[in-house]
Structure 1
Amino acid sequence: MNKGGILLAGIGALLVGMTVFGKTDIRPRCAGLAETALHASILIESSETVEQTDSLPAFCRIRGTIDPDIGFEARFPLDGWNGNYFQAGCGGFCGRIEPDRETHSNAINHALRRGHATITTNGGHEGESLGDGRWALDNPAAEEVYAHRVLPLTRAAGHRLVEAVYEAEPAYSYFSGCSNGGRLGAQAAQRYPDLFDGIVIGCPVLKLSVNGGAFGAWVLQSNSDGDGGRILDYRFIPKLAMLERNALAQCDALDGQADGAIAEPGLCQVSLDAIPVCEGEPRNDCLTAAEKRVVGLWYQGPVNSRGESVFPGMPAGSERFWGHWYLGDETFQGIGTLLADGYGTYLGFAEDPPGYSALQFDFDTDVAKLAAQGELFDALDPDLAAFRDAGGKIIMWHGMADPLVLPGQSRDYYEAVMSELGESQTTAFFRLFEAPGLGHCWDLPASLPDGMDLLGALEQWVEADIAPDEIPVTQRGAEGYVAASGMLRPYPQFAQYADKSP
């Protein structure tokens, strides 16, 4: 099914469309767009042509606002438009327009290079960083836009911009996002099944209410020294390699492959018994008693006073990423720390509690209070029949070493969809790929190859009906050669890796 309004008979017809669009000079229309009244919901602040660089093709850059407060930047190729539309998600609490994000994490440039007309937004509000949740204070209207309404509002405006610039409707519409952007991708399939032909859902925080509210509070509380300080901070980072080696020694081979990454972290309860307790001056080959307690609690995950699990803990193999997300540096505590405190303070409860801190979260009484906002934010509906019947396709992926958005929730959701629709019906339009050794959304290099073309795989599935039975992954050396490679396979299969040499 084609949701853009142009029905093209097969790939050949699509290529013809690409040639026609590529010959059209859109520069005059791009330059005059700021003076054009497209729609009452769209305020165009600027439009200009940007010439080709070594990394990007020439494009039309459009900046503006979509009613109510969705700031956006669109980048449309000046030549060689492939006839398609691409919309990116935004991570964390959003609040910023980031068109030049690298890799595929809530980014648009990789799609622009493929010829897509692309757009990215700030999620409907402004913030100082992706960890700034102050915009949500007593602001339920903005929370609803952030939760899911940004999807149809942006898509409608994006299509109007495409039609104004190219004088044609998009042939296919794609969405890709990671973390909160992945949650938005799931919301699109669940709430708005007619918006997109294909969706890439990466490391999705499907249970934002509990992941953000309870797990985040547990990370902060278990790391508190009781006097306003942290037990683990940036000075602990040199010990993370020791923790990773300890986890790999216990867990790497449980999936049948000793390949330097843990594919099944849920099968392993990491023991710290082999790591000595520091005596005398602290060293990097031991843990103090306080450090060992915090690490053990992070692996365990939040529990209530009866010892009942509230949410899983950090996966074995994620240790190398703890510094980026939770330990920070001399001036910054880490984005995960900001997100953990900000969710409960500004988004987690139906009414924002004055003076709240995640250090006050009560694991006996407050978990249930997260459910009201969970109805708004969480993306857990397994009934994707409407999206399936509309012809949509989904590629979901998750790094199995993700310490911020715990990877088990993607598998749990996928299994719930299979239970709802049946395995064969599900795999016909929806596939999950688990990536061992990969953390959260490519923000740091993985321990195994992680270079993959997810959008290309999705295009093949949507436009040529070639299902992704495997997705190649590569890791390039300093000279550009393939240093290592592998193949991601759809769940429940495991990825496979092979070393290469220049």
Structure 2
Amino acid sequence: MRQPQLSLGRLGLQTFRVIRKTLEADINRTHLLCSGTVIGSVSFLLAACGGNSSGDSQVGAASAASVCAKLNGATTGGVAGLSAKVIPATSTAPTYCQVTGTIPPQLGIEIRLPDDWNGKLYYQGGSGMDGSIPDLPVGALTKGYAEVGSDGGHKGNAFDASFALNDPLALNMWGHLSIPTALSSAKEVVRDAYGRFPDRSYFDGCSTGGREALMTVQRYPTLFDGVIAGDPSYDFVGLIGWFNRNAKALAAPGGALTSAKLQLLSQAVLQKCDALDGVVDGIVSNPAACSKSGFDPRALRCAGGGDSGNTCLSDAQLNSIASLTTTAQFGTAPNTYTQVGHPFTGNEATQWLAGSAGAKGDGDYTVSAGYLFEDTIIKNIIARNPAVNPLTFTYDQDLNALFSTASIVNATSTDIRPFINNGGKLIMWHGGSDDFYPAQGTANYYDAMVSAVGGKSVADSAVRLYIPPGVGHCGNGPGAAPADSDLLQSLDDWVTKSISPGTRFATKLTPSGDTAFTRPLCQYPTYPRYTGPADDAAAAKLARNYTCTAPSP
């Protein structure tokens, strides 16, 4: 599907002028200059591309206290009302200068500047509908990175899109403009703090942050040297339509899926598929084999199709499961919006609770993240009418509305050659048991990207994809998720030392912080197959006893 361009029809010329004025300094300084379009001879602007305009400056020469003294009350990088304060070191984080401010009209930004700066910048992506500064990770700060985060251009709840109803600029900021805007300002703050621009800039995000990650790769290919995209909601319009379809199925009489019903489904899946990856451990690491196993939830159907208890599934509940596990598509070619369904992973009893079915509310679908998102997005962005009832709303009744929304929020373009040609590196990952939206969608994007850029050899020079089994949305679930700090180190090594990441390793921790088990983090399309000694529970906990294996065709 081609990437739709920014639609001005619903924005209006006046709003576009505001957007253009807001971004003029950023785009001209970074995107155009780094692409080779020289708009002047000001050397420091070139440093925004990642270079060092002051090669004689010492990395980490300025302390957090001196940086704060310099920046507090200052105006730089277009940030109004800078406030800077020293945050003392803790047992887990170093001393740093916390800088906050607002980029007019309403883009909130936070920058953390450590004592011992390593000369690099780390941008943490947002989540949900944004509305607040995300938690910035201690790991990057400890490694000496200057850290950046923004609120996406508005204040509010992560499940509330009402900010976009009457504010097209705020919608566009959340959709794709906040990252380049905040990054440009952050680089100038860093320059004023340390006397030089960052040598390297990296972006890391999951969920909405993952969508933002792919958006920067596709639309602003020169902004970052490296990008980490976790669980990216890249076809956002397709995703919301799928959520809406699922909500209607779950809301139908008898369609709710309770914890007991999902437990029944999980046990049936595990009985059929758990051993297909070489070990029985409660995780289906080879979902492709499970799909081919012939598992069919209709084998759990209650006699006559009615709900006769927790030992079977009614027809209405089977219909809900069918909605959750099959692909939804909206629109017409070439503008189609697609979301694949959940695979059967054996983790339905835990992983569908918050994201899809809302069983934490004892079958109340309205507490699921999927329902909350489709409700607020349809009311405030798609239909643009808060009085609309999404459960009676025909999602694709207005294709222009879908296209206009996609032009702002979707990150579906697969031809990322400008990013690759600029030397960019991209690490993608997606939890194999993501409770919100399935990893297969990201796998499909990766496959299409490989074709679009000219084949696997080109893609392998710049892109990796990992799908850790049993891992839920952005890291929860029974599987072993990759650590943010490990991914950042791998990305930095790839960018600065040309050490391309291969098989990585992930650790699952117990609630007390001890190691429960380790697993290899296999490059897609391979999965970790147990090849250690049979019937050895201790051996099954060690990554060395697994081999990254391609699924059988």
Give how far 1:371 is off: 2.5
| Letter paired with 1:93 | M
Residue 71 of structure 1 corresponds to 108
Residue 238 of structure 2 corresponds to 210
Equivalent residue in structure 1 for 2:86, among 33, 49, 56: 49
Give how far 1:380 is off: 1.5
In structure 2, relative to structure 1, the CA distance for the partners of 1:255 and 1:476 (3 Å cut) is closer
Counterpart contact for 2:127–2:158, Cα < 8 Å: yes
SS at structure 2 position matched to 1:244: helix
Residue 503 of structure 2 corresponds to 470
Counting aligned pairs with the same residue, the percent is 29
Give how far 1:157 is off: 0.9
Q: How many residues align?
A: 470
Cα shift readout 1:191-236 (whole Å, capped 9, x = no counterpart): 1111100100011011001111x1011111001136xxx8437xx2
- For structure 2, the 5+ residue unaligned runs are 1-33, 35-46, 331-335, 531-538, 543-553
Give how far 1:264 is off: 5.1
CA distance in 2, matches of 1:303, 1:159: 40
SS at structure 2 position matched to 1:358: coil
Give how far 1:36 is off: 1.3
Equivalent residue in structure 1 for 2:126, among 90, 94, 107: 90
CA distance in 1, matches of 2:277, 2:234: 25
CA distance in 1, matches of 2:458, 2:223: 21
Residue 14 of structure 2 corresponds to none
| Letter paired with 1:499 | A
CA distance in 2, matches of 1:215, 1:24: 50
Cα shift readout 1:302-342 (whole Å, capped 9, x = no counterpart): 479xxx99642222125122212241438971332211211
In structure 2, relative to structure 1, the CA distance for the partners of 1:238 and 1:32 (3 Å cut) is farther
Give how far 1:389 is off: 1.4
Counterpart contact for 1:434–1:495, Cα < 8 Å: no
Residue 6 (str. 1) matches residue 26 (str. 2)? no
Counterpart contact for 2:161–2:381, Cα < 8 Å: yes
Give how far 1:396 is off: 0.4
CA distance in 2, matches of 1:245, 1:24: 58
SS at structure 1 position matched to 2:176: helix
Equivalent residue in structure 2 for 1:180, among 205, 208, 211: 208
In structure 2, relative to structure 1, the CA distance for the partners of 1:479 and 1:340 (3 Å cut) is closer
Equivalent residue in structure 2 for 1:121, among 150, 174, 198: 150
CA distance in 1, matches of 2:339, 2:112: 40
CA distance in 2, matches of 1:359, 1:225: 10
| Letter paired with 2:381 | L
Give how far 1:130 is off: 0.9
Alignment of 1:453-468 (within 5 A): 453-468=486-501
Give how far 1:91 is off: 1.2
Give how far 1:435 is off: 1.4
- The worse-fitting range, judged by mean Cα deviation, of 289-298 and 45-54 is 289-298
CA distance in 2, matches of 1:347, 1:96: 20
- For structure 1, the 5+ residue unaligned runs are 10-15, 100-106
- The worse-fitting range, judged by mean Cα deviation, of 49-58 and 326-335 is 326-335
Give how far 1:184 is off: 0.8
CA distance in 1, matches of 2:462, 2:54: 20
Equivalent residue in structure 2 for 1:271, among 274, 296, 315: 296
CA distance in 2, matches of 1:74, 1:238: 46
Residue 60 of structure 1 corresponds to 97
Counterpart contact for 2:73–2:82, Cα < 8 Å: no
Residue 346 of structure 1 corresponds to 380
Counterpart contact for 1:177–1:202, Cα < 8 Å: yes
Counterpart contact for 2:297–2:318, Cα < 8 Å: yes
Residue 299 of structure 1 corresponds to 325
Counterpart contact for 1:108–1:120, Cα < 8 Å: no
Q: Structure 2 length normalisation: TM-score? A: 0.77
Residue 223 of structure 1 corresponds to 250
Residue 17 of structure 2 corresponds to none
Residue 481 of structure 2 corresponds to 450
Residue 400 of structure 1 corresponds to 432
Residue 404 of structure 2 corresponds to 372
Residue 248 (str. 1) matches residue 275 (str. 2)? no
| Letter paired with 1:114 | K
Counterpart contact for 2:235–2:411, Cα < 8 Å: yes
Cα shift readout 1:330-355 (whole Å, capped 9, x = no counterpart): 89713322112112222235xx2452
Residue 321 (str. 1) matches residue 345 (str. 2)? no
Counterpart contact for 1:176–1:199, Cα < 8 Å: yes
In structure 2, relative to structure 1, the CA distance for the partners of 1:72 and 1:7 (3 Å cut) is closer
Equivalent residue in structure 2 for 1:419, among 448, 451, 456: 451
Counterpart contact for 1:482–1:500, Cα < 8 Å: no
Give how far 1:470 is off: 1.3
Residue 141 of structure 1 corresponds to 169
Residue 232 (str. 1) matches residue 264 (str. 2)? no
SS at structure 2 position matched to 1:399: coil
In structure 2, relative to structure 1, the CA distance for the partners of 1:391 and 1:295 (3 Å cut) is same
Q: CA RMSD of the aligned region, Å?
A: 3.1
| Letter paired with 2:129 | F
| Letter paired with 2:66 | P
CA distance in 1, matches of 2:287, 2:217: 28
In structure 2, relative to structure 1, the CA distance for the partners of 1:496 and 1:461 (3 Å cut) is farther
